[in-house]
Amino acid sequence: MKRAKAGVKYRDLREYLEILESKRLLKRVKTEVDLRHEIGAICAMSLDRRGPALLFENIKGYRGIPLVCNILSTTAQLALVFGAEADEEKIYSRIVHGMENRIPSATQGSGPCKEEIYRGNDIDLYKFPTPVWHELDGGQYVGTTAGCVTKDPKTGIHNMGSYRVMIKDRTTLAANIKGSHPVGERPSSSLRLSGGAVHHILQNEAKGLPTPIALAMGMDPLLTLASGTPVPADDKGQTEYEAAGGWRGAATELVRCETSDLLVPANAEIIIEGEVVANVRTAEGPHGESTGFYGENKEGFQIKVNCITHRKNPISYGLICRVFEDYPRTLLRSGSFQSLLIRKNGLRNIRQAYLPEVGRLGMVIISAKIGDAGEPRRIMRAAWENGGARWVIVVDEDCDVRDWNDVMWRVCSAADPKKDIIEGLARAPRSRMEGEFDPPSCGMGIDATMRFKETKFPPVNEVSRELMSKVVSRWREYRLD
Ligand SMILES: Cc1cc2nc3c(=O)[nH]c(=O)nc-3n(C[C@H](O)[C@H](O)[C@H](O)COP(=O)(O)O)c2cc1C
């Protein structure tokens, strides 16, 4: 594989882990630990302490196959992933840039993920250490870091998404696949949306056909990040693989599956090949979720496994889902959402679209160079049209969207409840399933911009950039550190 020109210094999960370790951002856990709850509790506690990546090398009953966790949770880790400075805004710019500059993927004859191949009676999903993460979880979850690959039966466009996937027995999985554009709620779009796995499955089921699916596990982190993020196909039909290529600055290398014509990442640690059984549903859950609640799906899709391929000495990679988890969902979704607003709505004056951690994807704060009085509402409508969030706060371009104090100062100072706060578009409830957290379906738009309001705002008493840089350059002289 050609080395990437950009700052990405690894080509697969293994090389990323080596870099983490060399920078003391990874610790090996050699004490024996239990897959049932103990690993989940260690990961949760370490995440709250903003701890390092954890490589569990001594898992009860699993000598020889390690499990790595907590590899995408800190800014220092994400800076290495994207080859950027350890600064959230700089990482964010890389995300938007990669989405906007996708690189076609490259298919090759074979790859490391084919080093060992298992079929028939040799298939055993319990071979790899897969935790029961939370105390009320109903089983072992392989699919929190796996990229589930399917393709559109009509267009052939591939899609990769991350979904909770529970082991039912040695050769059967249950998957909670809903996706970012639930059926019946797809935004009208001039873009060629690939449709997620659920659309592929339902199209095939209508003809009584199974849907080929592959779970790529232990992928290079850029692919893991593309997988859990909505990546609408661009006008060339490029999706997650090509967005990851854009971030890397080099093509994602793919190989064909053994039992279907799906393309999967050549350097993944483990590939589970199978098919979603047509018109069969099976219970999945409960499973502790990123909403902070347990979720379960009594009508999950059933996956029959046909083949497992893996690298020699495979490494498992697991992720505990919780409010603060090992996955920068909001950062990635923010980048993906801004890219959508630019490409679909032409809103190039948007400086940043930020989905804050609180509100779990229900709120977006958008800073923009406002050109006229009607612009904040146009931005709100575009945000709702693209299904980004229920609450939309629009602020001027000089606002730091990551700073609640700055955002709320503008809301309190500039948003007149009679004129500047409007009700958001009602959407059909996202979740129609019992046992699943279902947030309110209606939101609100808050125009907290100041530029074109009737109120004439006095000058803002911020220290100017020039004065600030002068003071910063003399900071040592003041001896204030
Ligand atoms: C750790 C993690 C777990 C997720 N679990 C689910 C899930 O169980 N079901 C689901 O529909 N989406 C889940 N998602 C969100 C999807 O991966 C995301 O919406 C993705 O864009 C779906 O792609 P699709 O719209 O192409 O299907 C999860 C994301 C992450 C990062």
Task: Convert the pLDDT of each residue in 244-254 to its tens digit.
Answer: 999 999 999 99
Flag whether pLDDT at 429 surpasses 90.
no
pLDDT for the residue 361:
65
What is the residue with the minimal CA distance to atom 6 of ligand 1?
A: 163
In a domain, 32, yes or no: no
Which of 137, 180, 229, 276 has the most ligand 1 atoms within 8 A of CB, as the residue to mutate? 180
Ligand 1 center to residue 149 CA distance, Å?
A: 12
Q: Which atom of ligand 1 is nearest to the CA of 240?
A: 26
Minimal-distance CA residue to ligand 1 atom 5: 163
> Three-state SS for 278?
strand
Q: Give yes or no: residues 358 and 276 share one domain.
A: no
Regarding the beta carbon of 392 and ligand 1, being less than 6 Å apart is answered: no
Q: Provide the 3-class DSSP secondary structure of residue 421.
A: strand
Of 394, 387, 404, 375, residue with least CA distance to 439: 387
Ligand 1 midpoint to CA 98 (Å): 20
pLDDT given at position 291: 80
Q: What's the pLDDT band for 473 if we cut at 50, 70, 90?
A: very high
- Cα(183) to ligand 1 centroid in Å equals 14
Distance (Å, whole) CA 51 – CA 31 = 17
Shared domain check, 407 and 270 = no
Q: How confident is the model at residue 144 (pLDDT cuts 50, 70, 90)?
A: confident
Cβ–ligand 1 distance for 213 under 6 Å, the answer: no
pLDDT of residue 436: 67
If DSSP codes are grouped into helix, strand and coil, which group holds residue 108?
A: coil
Is 197 touching ligand 1 by the criterion CB < 6 Å?
A: yes
CA-nearest residue for atom 19, ligand 1, is 180
Tell whether 224 and 364 lie within a shared domain: no
- Per-residue model confidence as pLDDT tens digits over 363-415: 999 999 999 999 999 999 999 988 768 899 999 999 999 999 999 999 999 99
Classify residue 255: in a domain, yes or no: yes
| Residue in the structure block whose two tokens are 């060339």 | 236
Is ligand 1 within 6 A of the CB of residue 274?
A: no
Nearest atom (ligand 1) to Cα of 165: 8
User: In angstroms, what is the span from residue 80 Cα to ligand 1's centroid?
Assistant: 24
For residue 397, the CA-to-ligand 1 centroid distance in Å is 31
Is 182's pLDDT higher than 50? no
pLDDT recorded at residue 251: 97
Q: Are residues 161 and 205 in the same domain?
A: yes
Q: For 200, list phi and psi in degrees, rounded to 5.
A: -65, -45
Q: Which helix (H) or strand (E) holds 395?
A: strand 391-396
* 7, 199, 205, 410, 470 from 465: Cα distances, Å: 29, 50, 60, 20, 9
Domain of 407, CATH number, reads 3.40.1670.10
- Encode pLDDT of 348-357 as tens digits: 899 999 988 7
Residues 6+ apart with CB under 8 A from 262: 149, 150, 151, 158, 212, 213, 214, 256, 273
Same structural domain for residues 150 and 280?
Answer: yes
Confidence band for 233, pLDDT divided at 50, 70 and 90: confident
Q: Is residue 235 part of a domain?
A: yes
Domain boundary pick from 317, 333, 365: 317
Atom of ligand 1 nearest to the CA of 145: 1
Residues 217 and 148 in one domain: yes
DSSP string, 160-203: EE--EEEEEETTEEEEE---SS-TT-PPP-SS-----HHHHHHH
Q: Which atom of ligand 1 is nearest to the CA of 178?
A: 11
What Rg do the C-alpha atoms of the chain give, in angstroms?
23
Percent of the chain with pLDDT over 70: 92
Q: Is residue 163 in contact with ligand 1, taking CB distance under 6 Å?
A: yes
In a domain, 455, yes or no: no
Q: Report the distance separating Cα 80 and Cα 98, nearest Å.
A: 15
Are 199 and 248 contained in the same domain?
yes
Q: How many domains does the chain have?
A: 2
Confidence of residue 433 (pLDDT cuts 50, 70, 90): low
CA dist., res. 445 & res. 377, Å (int): 8
Task: Give, for ligand 1, the residue of 149, 163, 297 to mutate: max count of ligand atoms closer than 8 Å to Cβ.
Answer: 163
162 lines ligand 1 (CB under 6 A): yes
The residue whose C-alpha atom lies closest to atom 4 belonging to ligand 1 is 163
Q: Is residue 30 assigned to a domain?
A: no
**Cα(437) to centroid of ligand 1, in Å?**
15
Looking at residue 111, its pLDDT comes to: 97
Q: Pick the atom of ligand 1 nearest to 160's CA.
A: 26
Q: Are 86 and 79 in contact (CB under 8 A)?
A: yes
CATH number for the domain harbouring residue 192? 2.30.110.10
Q: Looking at the structure, tell me whether residues 264 and 356 fall in a common domain.
A: no
Question: Are 291 and 413 in the same domain?
Answer: no
**Structural domain harbouring 377:** 347-447
pLDDT at position 359: 65
Q: 313 with 351, same domain? A: no
Q: Check: CB of residue 115 under 8 Å from CB of residue 312.
A: yes
Our answer on whether the CB atom of 354 is closer than 6 Å to any ligand 1 atom is no
Residue 157, amino acid? I
Name the packing angle between helices 329-345 and 375-385 (round to 10°).
Answer: 110
Ligand 1: atom nearest CA of 194 is 26
Residue among 133, 155, 162, 294 to mutate when testing ligand 1 (max atoms within 8 A of CB): 162
Cβ–ligand 1 distance for 144 under 6 Å, the answer yes
Question: For residue 326, is it within any domain?
Answer: no
| Residue 337 CB less than 6 A away from ligand 1 | no
**Higher model confidence: residue 428 or residue 391?**
391
- How far apart CA 263 and CA 102 sit, in angstroms, is 17
pLDDT of 190 = 32
Q: Is 363 helix (H, G, I), strand (E, B) or coil?
A: strand
Report the C-alpha gap between 69 and 12 in whole angstroms. Answer: 15
| Domain identity same for 358 and 303 | no
- Cα(88)–Cα(402) distance, rounded to whole angstroms? 9
- Asked if the structure places residue 177 within a domain, the reply is yes
Q: Is the CB of 230 under 6 A from ligand 1?
A: yes
Say if residue 299 is in the same domain as residue 362: no
Is 434 a domain residue?
Answer: yes
The whole-angstrom distance between residue 373's C-alpha and the CA centroid of its chain comes to: 34
Summarize pLDDT for 280-312 with one digit per residue, the tens: 999 999 999 988 889 999 999 999 999 999 999
- Give distance in angstroms: CA of 166 to centre of ligand 1: 14
Whether 93 shows a pLDDT value over 70: the answer reads yes
Element of type H or E holding 92: helix 88-100
- What is the spatial distance between Cα 203 and Cα 212, in angstroms, rounded to a whole number? 12
User: Could you say which of 317, 332, 360 is where a domain stops?
Assistant: 317
